[in-house]
Homo-oligomer: A and B are copies of this chain.
Amino acid sequence: MGVTDSPKSGSRLRVAVAGSTGYAGGSCVDLLLGHPEVELVQVGSRSHPGQLHRNVYPGSSCDLILQPEVDAANCDVVVSALSPGQAARSAPAWLDQGATVIDISADFRLRDPALFRTWYGEVHPAPHLLPQAVMALPELAPEAIAGANLLALPGCFSTAAILACGPAAMTHLVEPEVVVDAKTGVSGAGRTAGEAFLYSELSESMTAYGVGGHRHLPEMEQTLTDLAGGRFAVTFVPHLAPMSRGIVATCYLRPLPGVTLGQLRSAYLERYDGQPFVTVGDRPTPSKLASYTNHCFLSLHQQGAHVIVCAVLDNLGRGASSQAIQVLNQRFQLDPMSGLKGGPKWP
């Protein structure tokens, strides 16, 4: 029982994508088709069952027929990009069938099912799986990924905040609290959203939302607390920006007395040394340079009593689909760059 590091059959991993016609799932399909060590074998969609993926998702070259439910019988991996609650309903069967599940949705991030209920408004459909779920942090907790069969990806905002604050939390160089002010492109709202996400409503406009508390807050706090080995408090406000892709998370930390920017910078450089998808610099990066890549650009700055870490990534790339590929590569000990070689485009 259970998946080993070898594909079920042949030389390539057999991968299915559930929720393949949303933005995150559709981007996964695109990346997996270009992955030399993967065979995309199944694509799921409850909204368009029976149609060809290429006829539903713009730009797709995937000729598979959309299945109403993903059957993991012949799959090594299911990448799930479903809406909240759906992955938790399907994952038990997928795991029983021996597939590794890489979940882009929120269902397996929070260890405490009561928190899931608070933030997602329903009883968790599969609380028995939570103990085995692993929050996938490819650079910060790689060892946990190696043997896991149920891998939860942090949300797009959380990925940025965790990459930005993780090294500071782990080295205890800062007060255990942070203000995360994040700005996201509209695709973060998904492909089925309504009036509020129409072009005419959003162009030439920015707005804060979820100011009293956003769903990514508890997973940020849980993860940074884990990394710090003690309570790490987060205040988090997201903003919607008039662009399709991209996240800029500006994180305000307070170094402990005597800790310098140089010390923090060294800690970050050390933590991310040799990591192909994280850059530590001293100037903020325009978010467009991260678009369509798996890269996260960090920059460290000092102003008054704060050290400010800016994290820049693509919410659909490093914040969702390409991070799923990164985790898949890591889980199956493939070349880290496999399927992820695309670089930034300008302009």
A residues lining the B interface (CB < 8 Å)? 23, 26-27, 30, 34, 57-61, 177, 179, 181, 183, 185-187, 189, 191-193, 195, 197-209, 211-213, 217, 233-237, 239, 241-246, 248, 250, 252, 284-289, 291-292, 299, 301-306, 308, 310, 312, 341-347
Asked if A192 and B191 sit within 8 Å, CB to CB, the answer is no
A252 and B301 contact, Cβ closer than 8 Å, known pairs A204-B288, A287-B205: no
For A289, the chain B residues whose CB sits under 8 A away are: 58-59, 205
Asked if B192 and A195 sit within 8 Å, CB to CB, the answer is yes
A30 and B199 contact, Cβ closer than 8 Å, known pairs A212-B302, A299-B211, A306-B179: no
For A241, the chain B residues whose CB sits under 8 A away are: 183, 206, 241-242
A203 and B346 contact, Cβ closer than 8 Å, known pairs A250-B208, A250-B239, A284-B211: no
For A211, the chain B residues whose CB sits under 8 A away are: 250, 284, 299, 301, 303, 308, 310
Tell me which of A58, A199, A201, A243 has the highest count of chain B C-beta atoms within 10 A of its own C-beta: A199
Instruction: Report the Cα distance A217→B301, complex, angstroms.
Output: 15
Asked if A57 and B245 sit within 8 Å, CB to CB, the answer is no
Instruction: Report the minimal beta-carbon distance from A142 to chain B, rounded to whole angstroms.
Output: 25
For A308, the chain B residues whose CB sits under 8 A away are: 211, 235, 237
Instruction: Report the minimal beta-carbon distance from A322 to chain B, rounded to whole angstroms.
Output: 11
Instruction: Report the minimal beta-carbon distance from A213 to chain B, rounded to whole angstroms.
Output: 6
Asked if A243 and B191 sit within 8 Å, CB to CB, the answer is no
- Taking A30-B343, A191-B198, A235-B306 as given, write out 8 further A-B residue pairs in contact, using a Cβ cutoff of 8 Å, ordered by the A residue number: A34-B343, A59-B344, A183-B241, A202-B286, A203-B244, A204-B204, A208-B248, A236-B303
Asked if A250 and B199 sit within 8 Å, CB to CB, the answer is no
Asked if B199 and A198 sit within 8 Å, CB to CB, the answer is yes
Total copies of this chain within the assembly? 4
Asked if B185 and A200 sit within 8 Å, CB to CB, the answer is yes
For A186, the chain B residues whose CB sits under 8 A away are: 198-200, 203
Asked if A203 and B243 sit within 8 Å, CB to CB, the answer is yes
For A287, the chain B residues whose CB sits under 8 A away are: 205-207
Instruction: Report the minimal beta-carbon distance from A90 to chain B, rounded to whole angstroms.
Output: 24
Instruction: Report the Cα distance A154→B210, complex, angstroms.
Output: 29
Name the residue on B nearest A188 (C-beta).
Answer: B200
A233 and B23 contact, Cβ closer than 8 Å, known pairs A58-B289, A187-B200, A288-B204: no
Instruction: Report the minimal beta-carbon distance from A21 to chain B, rounded to whole angstroms.
Output: 11
Q: 8 pairs across A/B with beta carbons < 8 Å? A: A34-B343, A181-B181, A181-B250, A191-B347, A200-B347, A201-B347, A205-B289, A233-B304
Name the residue on B nearest A343 (C-beta).
Answer: B61
Name the residue on B nearest A211 (C-beta).
Answer: B301
Tell me which of A58, A195, A245 has the highest count of chain B C-beta atoms within 10 A of its own C-beta: A58
